[in-house]
Each structure stands twice: as C-alpha cells, then as structure tokens.
C-alpha cells in the first residue's frame, strides 16, 4: 500500500469516524447521568432527515442543522419524559424512539418529496463543504507533512472539527467543572445528589438534552456533509456501533475517540478495499462490510475486558422508603 | 429559656395506606445529644427524613431555633443548618473523599478552587474533631468507619449546626462506635445539636442527654436519659414488659454434629472470603459467630447451606457434606436447616402467600403431596398449625409474605426451618429488623432447639445477641477465625478487639 492510499484511507476514516464520535459522546453524557439510551440511532435518523429536508427547502444548511438538532432534541425530551419523569424502562423507550424515527422519516419524506422516501440531492449552500485550513495549498508540495496536512487534516467540513474538538471539551466538562462532577455523581448514586440538595431530575434532563443536541449534529452531518441528502435508514446502525464504542471506551471521552477511530478505520478499509486477494483466497466485500458490525457484537458480548457501566445506569430514581 | 434547636409540631406522614408518622411533636434543646429510639418501622427514619427535606410531611410544622421553617427539599434543610448521616451512606463510590465532600456545595462552576478550599477545610475539621480521613482516597477503597466520617465531614463542611445520625453504629466495630461517640461529644462541646436515631438501648444510655421513644408511628415519651432505665425504655418501645435477657439453662453439649476443616470460600468475583477456617458445633450447643459484617460469615453460612461452592472438608455427624455442586435440597435432606441472613431475598418469596412460603425447600415432602399434585389442603393445614404455634400475626395464611411485619416474616422462616427438627440449624442475623417482642420469641425457639439436643450455628453482627444466645463464641475477621471464647469468660471489649483483627492471647477450650 503506497503512501497516498494510506492517506486516503485515513482521510476517509476521519470522515466516517465523525458521526460515530458525535453519537458516542452523546451517549456518554446520557449514560454518565444514568440514562441508558439505545435511541441514538433513531435521533440521528430523525435529524438526518429533517436537516436534509429543511436544507433543501430553505437552501441553507445551517437552518437544516438547526432543524435536525430540534428533531433530535424533541426525541430526547420524549425519552427523558418516559424514563425520568415517568420512570419507565429506558431500553423500551429508546427502542420506541428509534422505531418511531425509522417509520416517520420515510413516511414524511415520501409525503413531502415523492422520491421513494428520500430527499432530493443537496447542492451548493444546502451542504456543508470542506474548509481549507490556512497554508494547506502552500504546504501541499512538501513531502510527507504536505499531504498529511493538506489531505488529512485540512479540507473537512466544520462538523468534523467540531466533533473532534468535543473530545477534550467533554473531558474538561466531565472532570473539571461542577456540572461534570454532578453529572457523574447522578449516574453513580442519585441518592447522594438528592441529599446534597441538587435536583436529580434536572441534571438528568440536562444530560439527555445534551445527548439530543449531539445526536442532532451527528445526523445532520450524515445527510448534509458526508452524503448529499437523506435516504431511508441511512444511519445503518451507527447509533448501535456508537454504543458499542462507548462500552469499549468504558464511558471515557478520550477512549471514546480511540474506539470510534477504530470503527471508522474498519469502515474506511471496507470502502476502499472491496475484495482482498490473499494469495488465492479472496475475502469478499461482504465480509469487509460486516467487520464493524462483527466487532460490535464482539465488544457487546464482553470479550474486550470488563466494562463497568455507571452504577445507577438504567435505573429510574425513586427515593427509598 | 433559649428556643429549642428543633421543634416539630404535629408532623404526620403516610405512604399509601401505611401511616409512618402520626401527629408527632418533639423539642430538641440546643447543644445536646438527643436520642430517638424505637423499633424498626416505628417511623424514626421517616421523621428525620422529613426534617432533612428528603420527604415532605403531609401536615405539621418545623421550627428551627424558634423560627418556623419550610423544608421542601434537602437544599432548604442544608440552608437551615441541618446535616444528616443516613443509615445507608449517600456517597459516590468511585469519587474521592474530596469530591464527595464538595458535591452540591461547590463554590463555582470550576472545581479547582472548591477542591482547594475543601482540602484546607478538611484539615482543620480533622484537627478540631479528630475526624481523620485521606482526602484523596476513593470511597470504595476505604472502610465503613471512614466512610461514615466522610458523611459527618460533608455535613460540617456545609456548616451544619444540627447533625442527625440514623443508626450510625450498625456497621461499626465496638471500638469504631466508641470513637464515633467521642466525636459526637466533641461536637456537642462545640455547641452543635445532635440527634441520634437508634434501636440500641445501650447507645441511648451511654451517649444521649435526652431520649424520645417512638412506637408504631407515634411519639410515646420523652425522658431525661439519666433519669430513666433500659427496662423502662424497652417497655415504652414495645408497649409491654419485655425480658431483655434470654433465660437459658447451661448447655449440655454432646457429640460433634458439625465439623469444618480448612474451609476456603471465594465469592463471585473470585475474592477469597473464607480463608481456611476450622470450627465444630456439638449437639445441644449454640456456636455464635461474631464479626463485623463482610468478614466471611455470610459466605460461611452460604456454603453450609448449599448456596455457594467451597473447598475443604465439612462433616455432618461424621459424614462428609458436598461442598461443590451441593444444593439446598441435598443439604436439607441431610438434616441441616437454614434461616438465611436476608429473609426477603433468600428466605421468602415476598409476593407468595404465607402458606406457600411455609413449605419452601420441603415441597417434595410426601406430606405435602398427593401423587403428582401438591396437597394444598395439607399445606394450608400445616400453615394454620405453625401460625398458631409461632404466634404469627396477622393469623392469615392467605396474606402475601410482604404484608407481614419484619418480625412476623422472620417467624414464618423460623417456623419452617425449626419445625423440620433438623440436626443442625444454620441461622444468620435471626433478629435483624425484627421488633423486640419477636426477638424474645425467636430467641426462645432457638434455645429450645438447642435444649432438644440439636446443634445451632448462629451468625450475627449484634454482639448483644451473640452474648445472650451463644454457648461458645467464635470471632471472624477477614475470613479467619480470630479466636474462640466462652461468653462468661470474655467481654465486649475483648471481642471488639478480635473483631477488629487484633489477636488476643487467651483461647477457650472447646
């Protein structure tokens, strides 16, 4: 494999990691606060659809992004209502959110655009385009550093940079701020938070809403940056892969980055090398495409070390008698 | 006369149909240690949780230092200068001591300044009150005694003037409890007001200035501690005269019924909890195992009861007992009966009727069966008999187990196990969460079984219970038997040292 191919695969890794990373960090906020969320997939899907639809109609990708975030936050609020206020089962509620999004997006897309459940292709200001960082052109001819800077680091959309910047920011919020301390506490022992005079409900809603915003950005990225429009089920299980990455990362921001990069790399490799010929044995493309999902199953089956989730995760908070 | 630090007027609180507090009024003088005593379920914790804003009272007034104060949530309680140390600590286990102390009392959005201030403040408090803790230790790495000091520090850091402690000594060794009381006295000298909730008469007599007694959700009396007696308090708690000591004749030990040789047990995480112990119990003898909770006693009972595998040798009447792949039924068939430590999880199925619970573990007994079918009529008749004999109230076999009080639930379990007339009775925490009246009854039943020439292995974290029942006492610490003593040749102090892992020179001859 030559240098340019390597750069291209890594470049593609970054693009494919971005939605996973955003969704993974979204899940991190929610689960650190004790609310399990298997509805990441649904929220991304709803946002992917609505952001593409609004971006197409308005011609502004920023309006599309806002609409996508709004859709995702709405579903988050629904999940919060079910699992925080009404103390319902968080898995069922998350599943319901995803199923709702899967059905509604196609239905509404068909009703609005009559294109078989997709949105029309986005062009121009309806899409996020790459940003060329300063000196990228000037540096390009420089060997090694040039391609790395110009191809790999420069030229991504703003959402990519945002996603990667969210990693240190999330770490800082979680471990250096009052909000982070309380957020982590409420996922471990909500009774400790309650007796310290802080609202458990308020904190958990805050976490769930942050989760909604991040999922919204992830979804909008899929349909307005990575692709140019919404197609049915375009999230393709990324919400679940993000959850697997979160468990793999043991609910820590920097680890989340590495595990999302791993999944992104697998997806990029599958895209780039369709059939791999290993001296007579050809690994078919389907095997490559399946790799991220196989890794997901392996991680969820607990083969990769023991991951201890936040102790109060999945449990509605009820004051004990 | 100065205004009371706390005055509650006519507090009532119901949980559904259960009235936990009925029109309760109490005055607590400032700068005193005020005890609240009552049986489990008398409503002590509920009352204090209302004062701390954890629950909201249905009606009634709270007056603090002479001013009526609304306490809708814990924040308001903290603002009013009230701190509470709950029975089950409210600490975040994977946080450091420092992080737990500042949680909810941070100075600003960023943690750094708060952490620095708390570190300084903790040093001062440690010096002032002897509350030594390592600020950087994680909660799950420190012992319960230190965890409790963290809870007290949390309250003091929030400048609490009134400190409520709910059953603070339940998890402590006697030495740790003494240290706690020294700290409380020190706090009183500094002018703080302390409310001590407990069901232990001894603590009330030793540590408090005044004591209020609660019974079934009502405040029945308030006394000056120096002018009352344990007997009077016990009578007020129960509502009738009670015998605080168990009357029993000297033991007549026979041959060895149970012999344990070099027993090792690991828990589900693979941590060794019982580390090669040797014990024996004779016929007609009660062997009491003392120790602070979590030192391997539970695992010992579970192995003997067939609930957990172990390695080593266990002989019952000279016959080896399976330690791996054993099950409750095989164990019971050998003549071992088991009253497990946690009756609600292991002794009963809470949603099942009493008459169903009364035969668990013995459902295969031909007396309860007719061919392929259960003989429910026989079961119910058997239940009637046990309800009568063990005075289980209410006397209704159709009630679900969860609808009985703790004491009566325990009577159902004890009736089931003792009525099998086992050679060996394993019994764990027989009176945890059981009212004094039922304690008396259950103790009598255990002693009666011993007098019938059976062997009893008793595990209890209550030293008082160990002393009043045991014919011989073994102390466990960190999976080892630290020593055996005869109850009339030892005292709480010596056992307390053994419970803390300090070995003594004297050995009893068994």
More confident residue, A297 or B242: A297
- pLDDT of amino acid A304: 63
Nearest CA in chain B to A178: B109
Model confidence at B170: pLDDT above 60: yes
So what's the pLDDT on residue B438?
84
- Which residues of A fall within a CB distance of 8 Å from B91? 189, 192
Distance of CA A121 to the CA centre of its chain: 22
Chain A residue numbers with beta carbons less than 8 Å from the beta carbon of B100 are 192
Distance CA B453, CA B255 (A): 10
- Select from A179, A182, A189 the Cβ nearest to the Cβ of B93: A189
B75–A197 C-beta distance less than 8 A:
yes
A178/B91 CB distance under 8 A: no
- What's the CATH architecture for B6-238? 3-Layer(aba) Sandwich (3.40)
d(CA A51, CA A43): 12
Q: Does A298 touch chain B (CB under 8 A)?
A: no
Does the structure show a pLDDT above 70 at B508?
no
Q: Which of A124, A99, A102, A121 minimizes the C-alpha distance to A53? A: A121
Report yes or no: A218 and A44 within 8 Å, Cβ to Cβ. yes
pLDDT tens digits, B3-24: 899 999 999 998 877 788 999 9
Average pLDDT over residues B419-446: 88
Q: What is the per-residue pLDDT across B172-223, written as a single tens digit (0 to 9) for each?
A: 878 888 889 999 999 999 999 999 998 888 889 999 999 999 988 899 999 9
Across the interface, do A188 and B93 touch by the CB < 8 Å criterion? yes
Contacts of B160 in chain A (CB under 8 A): none
Nearest CB to A188 within list B86, B92, B105: B92
A-chain residues near B109 (CB < 8 A): 177-179
**Residue A188 and residue B94: Cβ atoms within 8 Å?**
yes
Contact B15 A321 (CB under 8 A): yes
CATH 3.90.550 fits A3-128+146-300, yes or no: no
The rounded distance, in Å, linking the Cα atoms of B250 and B239 is 31
- Judge residue A22's burial from the number of C-beta atoms within 10 Å of its C-beta, 0-12 exposed, 13-18 middle, 19 or more buried: buried
The model carries a pTM of 0.81
User: Are B386 and B416 a contacting pair, CB within 8 Å?
Assistant: yes
Q: Tell the burial category of B333 from Cβ atoms under 10 Å away from its Cβ (0-12, 13-18, 19+).
A: exposed
Provide mean pLDDT across the span B294-299. 90
pLDDT of residue B492: 85
Asked if B73 is an interface residue toward chain A (Cβ–Cβ < 8 A), one would say: yes
Distance CA B89, CA A309 (A): 21
Q: What is the pLDDT of residue A234?
A: 95
The CATH-assigned architecture of domain B256-347+422-499 is 3-Layer(aba) Sandwich (3.40)
Check CB contact of A321 with chain B, cutoff 8 Å.
Answer: yes
Single out the residue of B45, B38, B10, B42 nearest to residue B26, CA to CA. B10
The pLDDT, as a whole number, for residue A1 is 63
**Are B37 and B19 within 8 A, CB to CB?**
no
Q: Is the pLDDT of residue B433 over 80?
A: no
Q: A197 and B74: CB-CB below 8 Å? A: yes
β-bridge mates for residue B475, sequence order: B290, B483
ipTM of the complex: 0.89
Q: How confident is the model at residue B506 (pLDDT cuts 50, 70, 90)?
A: very low
Q: B15 in contact with A at a CB cutoff of 8 Å? A: yes
Sequence-ordered alpha helix ranges (H) in B69-166: 74-79, 97-102, 111-129, 144-157
Q: What is the pLDDT of residue B243?
A: 66
Q: What is the mean pLDDT of residues B107-122?
A: 94
Rounded Cα distance between A59 and A56, Å, is: 5
Which residues, at least 6 apart from B382, have a Cβ–Cβ distance to it below 8 Å? B355, B358, B359, B367, B368
* Minimal Cβ distance to B111: which of A177, A191, A311: A177
Nearest CB among A177, A195, A321 relative to B109 is that of A177
For residue B110, give the nearest of A176, A182, A197 by CB distance. Answer: A176
Å from B48 to nearest chain A CA?
12
Residue among B85, B71, B224 nearest B168 (CA):
B85
Nearest residue in A to B55, CA atom: A319
pLDDT band at B61 (very low <50, low <70, confident <90, very high): very high
Q: Using 50, 70 and 90 to split pLDDT, how confident is the model at B244?
A: low
Which of A100-104, B67-71, B401-405 has the least mean pLDDT?
B401-405
Contacts of B95 in chain A (CB under 8 A): 184-185, 188
Question: Shortest CB distance from A178 goes to which of B54, B74, B106?
Answer: B106
CB contact under 8 A, B92 and A182: no
What is the Cα–Cα distance from B285 to B91, expressed in whole angstroms?
42
pLDDT of B117-132, one tens digit each? Answer: 999 999 999 888 888 8
Looking at CA atoms only, how far is residue B92 from chain A in angstroms?
A: 6
pLDDT of residue B192: 95
Extents of the domains making up chain B = 6-238, 256-347+422-499
Contacts of B102 in chain A (CB under 8 A): 181
Which pLDDT tens digit goes with each residue over B454-503? 999 999 988 889 999 999 999 999 999 999 999 999 988 889 889 988 87
Burial A89-99 (b: 16+ CB within 10 A, else e): ebeebbebbbe
Q: How far is B296 from chain A (nearest CA, A)?
A: 24
Q: Chain A: residue nearest B99 by CA?
A: A181
pLDDT one-digit tens code per residue, B359-368: 888 888 888 9
Checking if the pLDDT of B331 tops 60, the result is yes
Report yes or no: B231 and B202 within 8 Å, Cβ to Cβ.
Answer: no
- Which residues, numbered 431 to 470 in chain B, qualify as contacts with chain A under a Cβ-Cβ cut-off of 8 Å? none
Rounded to a whole number of angstroms, the distance from the CA of A298 to the nearest CA of chain B is: 22
A–B: how many Cβ contacts below 8 A? 76
- pLDDT tens for chain A, 321 residues long, are 688 889 999 999 999 999 999 999 999 999 999 999 999 999 999 999 999 999 999 999 999 999 999 999 999 999 999 999 999 999 999 999 999 999 999 999 999 999 988 999 998 899 998 888 888 888 888 888 888 888 888 889 999 999 999 999 999 999 999 999 999 999 999 999 999 999 999 999 999 999 999 999 999 999 999 999 999 999 999 999 999 999 989 999 999 999 999 999 999 988 888 777 777 788 888 888 888 888 878 877 766 667 788 999 988 998 764
- Measured in angstroms, the CA of A46 and the nearest CA of chain B are apart by 33
Residue A229 confidence (pLDDT)? 94
pLDDT at residue A320, rounded to an integer: 63
The span from the CA of B142 to the CA of B129, in Å, is: 19
Query: What residues does each domain of chain A span?
Result: 3-128+146-300
In DSSP notation, B31-65 reads: TSEEEEEE-TTSSHHHHHHHHTTSS--SEEEEEET
CB atoms within 10 A of CB A134: 8
């Amino acid at each position: 494999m030559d240098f340019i191919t390597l750069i291209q695969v890594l470049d593609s890794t970054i693009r494919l990691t971005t939605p996973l990373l955003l969704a993974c960090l979204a899940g991190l906020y929610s689960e650190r606060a004790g609310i399990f969320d298997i509805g990441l997939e649904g929220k991304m899907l709803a946002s992917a659809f609505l952001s593409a639809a609004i971006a197409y109609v308005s011609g502004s990708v920023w309006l599309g992004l806002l609409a996508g975030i709004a859709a995702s936050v709405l579903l988050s609020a629904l999940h919060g209502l079910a699992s925080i206020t009404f103390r319902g089962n968080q898995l069922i509620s998350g599943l319901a959110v995803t199923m709702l999004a899967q059905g509604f997006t196609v239905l509404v897309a068909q009703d609005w655009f009559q294109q078989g459940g997709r949105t029309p292709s986005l062009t121009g200001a309806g899409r996020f385009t790459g940003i060329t960082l300063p000196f990228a052109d000037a540096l390009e001819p420089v060997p090694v550093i040039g391609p790395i800077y110009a191809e790999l680091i420069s030229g991504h959309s703003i959402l990519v940079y945002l996603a990667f910047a969210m990693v240190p920011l999330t770490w800082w919020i979680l471990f250096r701020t009052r909000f982070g301390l309380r957020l982590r506490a409420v996922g471990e022992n909500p009774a400790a938070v309650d007796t310290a005079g802080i609202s458990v409900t308020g904190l958990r809603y805050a976490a769930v809403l942050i989760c909604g915003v991040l999922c919204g950005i992830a979804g909008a990225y899929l349909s307005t940056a990575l692709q140019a429009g919404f197609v049915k089920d375009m999230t393709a299980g990324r919400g679940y892969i993000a959850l697997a990455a979160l468990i793999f990362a043991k609910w820590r921001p920097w680890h989340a980055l590495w595990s999302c990069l791993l999944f992104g790399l697998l997806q990029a490799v599958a895209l780039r090398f369709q059939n791999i010929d290993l001296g007579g044995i050809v690994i078919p493309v389907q095997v490559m495409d399946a790799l991220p999902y196989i890794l997901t199953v392996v991680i969820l089956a607990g083969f990769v070390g023991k991951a201890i989730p936040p102790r109060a995760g999945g449990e509605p908070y009820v004051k004990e008698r | 006369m100065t205004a009371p630090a706390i005055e509650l007027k006519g507090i009532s609180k119901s949980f559904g149909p259960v009235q936990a507090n009925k029109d309760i009024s109490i005055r607590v003088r400032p700068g005193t240690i005020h005890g609240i005593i009552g049986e489990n379920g008398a409503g002590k914790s509920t009352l204090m949780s209302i004062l701390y804003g954890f629950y909201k009272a249905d009606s009634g007034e709270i007056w603090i230092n002479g001013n009526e104060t609304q306490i809708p949530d814990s924040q308001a309680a903290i603002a009013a200068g009230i701190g509470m140390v709950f029975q089950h600590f409210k600490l975040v286990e994977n946080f450091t001591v420092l992080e737990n102390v500042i949680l909810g009392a941070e100075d600003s959005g960023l943690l750094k300044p708060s952490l620095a201030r708390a570190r300084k403040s903790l040093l001062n408090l440690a010096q002032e009150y002897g509350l030594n803790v390592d600020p950087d230790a994680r909660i799950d790495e420190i012992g319960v005694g230190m965890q409790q000091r963290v809870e007290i520090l949390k309250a003091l850091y929030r400048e609490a003037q009134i400190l409520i402690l709910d059953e603070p000594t339940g998890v402590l060794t006697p030495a740790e409890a003494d240290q706690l009381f020294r700290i409380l006295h020190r706090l009183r000298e500094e002018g703080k007001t302390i409310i001590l909730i407990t069901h232990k008469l001894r603590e009330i007599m030793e540590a408090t200035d005044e004591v209020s007694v609660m019974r079934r959700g009502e405040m029945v009396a308030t006394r000056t501690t120096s002018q009352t007696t344990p007997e009077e308090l016990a009578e007020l708690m129960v509502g009738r005269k009670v015998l605080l000591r168990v009357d029993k004749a000297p033991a007549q030990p026979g041959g060895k019924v149970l012999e344990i040789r070099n027993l090792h047990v690991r828990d589900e995480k693979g941590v060794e909890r019982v580390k090669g112990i040797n014990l024996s119990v004779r016929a007609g003898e009660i062997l009491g195992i003392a120790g602070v909770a979590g030192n391997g006693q539970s695992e010992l009972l579970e192995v003997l009861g067939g609930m957990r595998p172990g390695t080593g040798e266990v002989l019952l009447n000279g016959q080896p007992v399976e330690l791996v792949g054993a099950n409750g039924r095989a164990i019971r068939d050998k003549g071992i009966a088991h009253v497990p430590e946690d009756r609600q999880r292991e002794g009963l199925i809470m949603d099942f009727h009493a008459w169903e619970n009364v035969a668990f573990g013995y459902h295969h007994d031909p007396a309860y069966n007719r061919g392929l079918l259960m003989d429910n009529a026989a079961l119910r008749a058997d239940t009637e008999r046990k309800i009568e004999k063990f005075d289980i109230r209410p006397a209704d076999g159709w009630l679900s187990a969860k609808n009985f009080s703790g004491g009566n639930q325990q009577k159902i379990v004890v009736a089931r196990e003792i009525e099998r007339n086992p050679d060996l009775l394993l019994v764990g925490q027989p009176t945890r969460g059981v009212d004094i009246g039922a304690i008396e009854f259950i103790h009598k039943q255990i002693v009666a079984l011993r007098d019938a020439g059976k062997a009893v292995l008793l595990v209890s974290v209550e030293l008082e219970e160990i002393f009043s029942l045991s014919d011989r006492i073994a102390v466990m610490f960190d999976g080892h038997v630290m020593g055996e003593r005869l109850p009339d040749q030892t005292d709480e102090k010596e056992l307390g040292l053994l419970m803390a892992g300090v070995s003594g020179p004297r050995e009893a001859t068994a």
